[in-house]
Chain A
Amino acid sequence: AQKITQTQPGMFVQEKEAVTLDCTYDTSDPSYGLFWYKQPSSGEMIFLIYQGSYDQQNATEGRYSLNFQKARKSANLVISASQLGDSAMYFCAMRETWPQFYFGTGTSLTVIP
């Protein structure tokens, strides 16, 4: 089974609107971390936000927030007030006890002016 599933290959959002990028995960480990990365067209991988399995509150970093629903095993990324510079690929990743990360296949986000 896939450890990380991102079901939206492509998403469009109007500038200044909010958008949610979906991520579901599969693990039986009680301790795990969930991460989101952004990859713009220039190619670099940029860390955005982290959520730990024991965290009681949803993580937030500026315009990024993580909608963490543990029972559903989902960790959706919410980007508020979208900007043109948000157009990029977004990857969800999970780490269990070992340092290894499991990455999803990514979602391509296009912000429309």
Chain B
Amino acid sequence: DAGVIQSPRHEVTEMGQEVTLRCKPISGHNSLFWYRQTMMRGLELLIYFNNNVPIDDSGMPEDRFSAKMPNASFSTLKIQPSEPRDSAVYFCASSLVRGTYSNQPQHFGDGTRLSIL
């Protein structure tokens, strides 16, 4: 079975440029999560979607960050303009959630290692 697919795996770009990270969740999963991981702050939840609808974006650091999920099989995380402090590994994860409680784990993609120069 195909897992969560993220692209690109690595991205190096200059400060001020727009960065778009992409995620294809596992087919049939109805929840999608974007995380950022750094040494200083650990694993941070940025935003999550349920049935393609953003539920909680309180973790998005600032207006430079935006995320969309136009359909059940695709999501993007965009940073515009990018800054060096955005350098991190960005993970996408998906899960199947039924009702208000589910025992299903989140399945993670391999992550995008982003470096802003």
Contacts and interface: CB of A to CB of B under 8 A. Distances in A.
Interface of A: 31, 33, 35, 37, 43-47, 50, 52, 91, 93, 95, 97-101, 103, 105-106
> DSSP class of A's interface residues: helix, strand, loop or mixed?
strand
Contacts, number: 54
A98 B97 CA distance: 9
Interface stretch (B14-22, B66-74, B75-83, B105-113): B105-113
Contact of A101 (B33, B50, B110): B33
A45 B31 contact: no
A106 B42 contact: yes
Given A43-B111, A44-B108, A45-B108, A97 B101 contact: yes
Contacts of B107: 47
Interface-centre pick from B56, B100, B103, B113 (highest chain A CB count, 10 A): B103
Contacts of A35: 105-106
Contact of A99 (B43, B48, B108, B111): B48
A41 B108 CA distance: 15
B5 interface: no
